[in-house]
């Protein structure tokens, strides 16, 4: 993903620290943060409050990517999942540190801070969250 | 609001068309439609062109005016607009043309759809298609476009017991239909085993669960229905048009297995046509992946949610079934030049409703539905058509 560094940098709070937000009217939590709540719309304007998420959740669905984009080719095959976070929002992320045949719907997972991709061999390195099995 | 009819259609061959350029393709489809409608350049009030990503596929934006130019209309100065909604760009162009006539502003409009995808190679084509997904919150983390549909499939299999064999049967059926479509990219049948054995792209989807990378163009001439008989014996009326949107990212949706954009667009189209799903005789649905056709027949109300796989087993959607789906071969066998797809679906509906579909003709076809999706379901546009 050859792009300006600022485009990545401005999303660091979300990708590094799981900063989402919460509607002050209906308490729904959003990740990534939204400008307004899609349920309360105008009633939520000015009432969206930052909130930190725990980075824990459950696998809703998944796939094993065998044919990956150029930047991910070295990692194939790798699992990608939709994870429902404890606070409510769903996100898409890679599952790591887990044999492919152990990835299951309903599996409890927690976030881990990892390198996601890199602009060539000398370009910027992009970090963010991946998920691994929750420790019991 | 005025009624609107299709009075002319044109298609290029779909496929890997190395010897033909973007410009040649759209000019060919457009001139075929114009000749079919027996109109002249001076009759045309406006042009609408659907193209998902001409900028990245052939390094050319501003293709509305370009299409007018290469069609020979530069001296007529016809208003020309490019419409974009990812893989639904073509269907949206049809709807914009439809709305402009229904509103009374225009009488005759030419709609085109095009994508020239092969010039950039397969890897780049896949990455360009992924721009229809959420780049910041899906693609960034390594989710591919087939991967996103694969996640719909995994959940569908988990919740409803849908099988890989049922998915594969969608591809087998659509290739069987493609045999009878001279414009299709693939005109040969495939076996269930070959689909199941194909290399895995994003488990549970294999290569043969995916529509191909295609070049091609399609075109229509739309006309105010009250004037349509002046041009053709068999005008085909658009009796319902619906469009809806949803979140770009699959993870933002209410239900992983339901494309709510399809549900809402269908609701609007059925209401306008004063019809229910039971009244539809045949349909062209957006089978960019095999799972997408299963979700489509559920979300359009043809079968209950979760029963799409069973419907494939029961052969309801084959050419001689009670509700033939993707008689053209669908995106899977006909090919999927993304901007052209939504327009080509209307070409197929028109061909069927005129009774000119040859060996793939649906018996007693009276009412057809076209379903065109952008991304993994963030945009949907649906048209329902009937012979006048």
pLDDT tens by residue, A61-88: 999 999 999 889 999 999 999 999 999 9
CATH match for B127-210+239-387 among 3.40.50.300, 3.40.47.10, 1.10.150.120, 3.30.70.20? 3.40.47.10
Domain limits for position A71: 1-16+54-136
pLDDT at A11: 86
Domain spans, chain B? 4-121+214-236, 127-210+239-387
Residues of A in contact with B136 (CB under 8 A): 11, 32
Quote the tokens at residue B332. 């899977």
The two tokens of residue A79 are 């699992």
* pLDDT tens digits, one per residue of B199-217: 999 999 999 999 999 999 9
ipTM of the complex: 0.96
Report residue B377 as tokens: 């379901």
Q: What is the CATH number of domain B4-121+214-236?
A: 3.40.47.10
Give per-residue pLDDT as tens, B348-383: 999 999 999 999 999 999 999 999 999 999 999 999
Q: Pick A128's closest partner by Cβ from B134, B141, B256.
A: B141
Asked if residues B282 and B323 have their Cβ atoms less than 8 Å apart, the reply is: yes
Q: How far is B298 from B257, CA to CA, in rounded Å?
A: 10
Could you tell me if A42 and A96 lie in one domain? no
Confidence class for position A1, pLDDT limits 50, 70, 90: very low
Do A108 and A86 lie in one domain? The reply is yes
pLDDT band at A2 (very low <50, low <70, confident <90, very high): low
Task: Provide the pLDDT confidence category of residue A3 given band limits of 50, 70 and 90.
Answer: low
A86 and A69 assigned to the same domain: yes
Q: Do domains B4-121+214-236 and B127-210+239-387 have the same CATH topology?
A: yes
Min Cα separation B142/chain A (Å): 7
pLDDT in tens, B132-190: 999 999 999 999 999 999 999 999 999 999 999 999 999 999 999 999 999 999 999 99
Contact check, Cβ <8 Å, A62/B151: yes
**Nearest residue in chain A measured CA to CA from B135:** A1
B202, A81: Cβ pair inside 8 Å?
no
Neighbouring-strand partners of residue B104: none
Q: How far is A121 from chain B (nearest CA, A)?
A: 18
Q: Can you list the alpha helix ranges (DSSP code H) found in A55-97? A: none
SS3 content of chain B, % helix, strand, coil (to 5): 45, 20, 35
> Distance between CA A35 and CA B146 in Å, rounded?
30
**Would you say residue B345 has pLDDT above 90?**
yes
Sign of CA dihedral B14, B373, B297, B33: negative
Of A1, A69, A91, the CB nearest to B144: A69
Q: What is the enclosing helix (H) or strand (E) of A12?
A: helix A12-17
Helical H runs in chain B?
22-37, 54-58, 63-70, 89-102, 122-129, 145-160, 164-178, 192-197, 225-228, 260-273, 290-299, 308-313, 330-334, 338-354
Would residue B223 show up in a list of annotated catalytic residues for this protein? no
Distance CA B291, CA B278 (A): 22
Instruction: Judge whether B132 and B88 are in contact, CB under 8 Å.
Output: no
- A118 and A78 inside one domain: yes
Calculate what percentage of chain B has a pLDDT beyond 70: 100
Q: Which of B336, B371, B380, B383 is catalytic?
A: B336
Residues present in chain A in total: 136
Look at residue B71 in the predicted model and tell me its pLDDT. Answer: 95
Q: Is the pLDDT of residue A121 over 80?
A: no
| A70 and A9 assigned to the same domain | yes
Give the mean model confidence (pLDDT) for residues B266-295.
98
Could you give the CA distance from residue B89 to residue B95 in angstroms, rounded to a whole number? 10
Judge whether residue A5 has pLDDT over 90.
no
Q: Which pLDDT belongs to residue B122?
A: 86
Q: Which distant-in-sequence residues (6+ apart) come within 8 Å of B52 by Cβ?
A: B84, B85, B86, B87, B89, B115, B132, B338, B339
Calculate mean pLDDT across residues A29-39.
Answer: 97
Q: Are residues A105 and A61 in the same domain?
A: yes
CB contact under 8 A, A105 and B151: no
User: What Å distances lie between residue A69 and A63, B53, B141, B176, B199, CA to CA?
Assistant: 15, 18, 11, 31, 16
Examine the domain organization and report whether A111 and A64 are in the same domain. yes
Q: Are both A85 and A33 inside the same structural domain?
A: no
More confident residue, A135 or B98: B98
What is residue B383's predicted lDDT score, i.e. its pLDDT? 99
Q: Do B142 and A75 touch (CB under 8 A)?
A: yes
Q: pLDDT tens digit string along B33-86?
A: 999 999 999 999 999 999 999 999 999 999 999 999 999 999 999 999 999 999
Beta carbons of B202 and A63 less than 8 Å apart: yes
Specify whether A61 is located in the same domain as A122: yes
> Is residue A41 located within the same domain as residue A11?
no
How many other C-beta atoms are found inside a 10 Å radius of the C-beta of residue B363? 10
pLDDT at B250: 98
A128–B136: do the CB atoms touch at under 8 Å?
no
Our count of domains for chain A comes to 2
Residue of chain B whose Cα is closest to the Cα of A131: B141
| Claim to verify: residue A74 and residue A114 sit in the same structural domain | yes
Residues A101, A81 share a domain: yes
pLDDT at B241 over 90: yes
């Amino acid at each position: 993903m050859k792009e300006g560094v600022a485009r990545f940098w401005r999303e660091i709070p979300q990708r590094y620290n799981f900063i989402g937000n919460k509607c002050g009217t209906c308490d729904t939590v959003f990740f990534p943060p939204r400008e307004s709540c899609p349920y309360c719309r105008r009633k939520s304007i000015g009432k969206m409050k930052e909130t930190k998420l725990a980075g824990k959740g459950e696998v809703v669905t998944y796939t094993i990517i065998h044919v990956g984009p150029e930047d991910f080719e070295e990692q194939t095959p790798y699992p990608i999942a939709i994870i429902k976070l404890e606070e409510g929002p769903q996100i898409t992320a890679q599952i790591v540190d887990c044999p492919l045949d152990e990835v299951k719907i309903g599996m409890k997972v927690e976030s881990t801070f990892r390198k996601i991709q890199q602009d060539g061999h000398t370009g910027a390195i992009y970090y963010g969250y991946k998920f691994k099995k929750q420790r019991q | 609001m005025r009624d609107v009819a299709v009075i002319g259609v044109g298609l290029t061959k779909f496929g890997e068309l190395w010897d033909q350029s973007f410009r040649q393709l759209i000019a060919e489809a457009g001139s075929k439609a114009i000749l079919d409608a027996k109109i002249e350049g001076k009759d045309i009030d406006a042009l609408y062109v659907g193209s998902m990503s001409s900028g990245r596929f052939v390094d050319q934006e501003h293709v509305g005016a370009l299409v007018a130019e290469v069609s020979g209309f530069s001296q007529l100065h016809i208003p020309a607009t490019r419409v974009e909604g990812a893989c639904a760009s073509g269907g949206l162009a049809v709807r914009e043309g439809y709305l402009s006539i229904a509103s009374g502003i225009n009488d005759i409009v030419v709609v085109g759809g095009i994508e020239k995808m092969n010039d950039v190679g397969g890897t780049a084509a896949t990455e360009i298609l992924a721009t229809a997904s959420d780049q910041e919150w899906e693609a960034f983390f390594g989710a591919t476009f087939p991967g996103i549909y694969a996640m719909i499939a995994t959940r569908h299999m988990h919740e409803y017991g849908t099988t890989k064999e049922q998915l594969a049967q969608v591809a087998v059926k659509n290739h069987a239909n493609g045999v009878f479509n001279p414009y299709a990219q693939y005109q040969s049948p495939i076996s269930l085993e070959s689909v199941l054995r194909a290399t895995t792209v994003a488990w549970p989807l294999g290569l043969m669960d995916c529509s191909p990378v295609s070049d091609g163009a399609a075109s229509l001439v739309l006309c105010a229905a009250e004037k349509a008989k002046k041009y053709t014996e068999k005008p085909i009326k658009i009796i319902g048009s619906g469009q809806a949107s949803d979140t770009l990212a699959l993870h933002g949706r209410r239900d992983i297995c339901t494309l709510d954009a399809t549900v809402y667009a269908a609701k609007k189209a059925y209401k306008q046509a004063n019809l229910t799903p039971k009244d539809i005789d045949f349909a062209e649905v957006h089978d960019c992946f095999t799972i997408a056709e299963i979700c489509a027949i559920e979300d359009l109300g043809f079968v209950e949610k979760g029963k799409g796989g069973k419907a494939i087993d029961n052969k309801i959607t084959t050419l001689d079934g009670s509700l033939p789906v993707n008689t053209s071969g669908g995106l899977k066998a006909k090919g999927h030049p993304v901007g052209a797809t939504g327009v080509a679906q209307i070409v197929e509906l028109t061909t069927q409703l005129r009774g000119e579909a040859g060996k793939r003709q649906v018996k007693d076809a009276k009412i057809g539905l076209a379903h065109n999706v952008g991304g993994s379901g963030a945009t949907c546009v649906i048209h329902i058509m009937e012979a006048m």
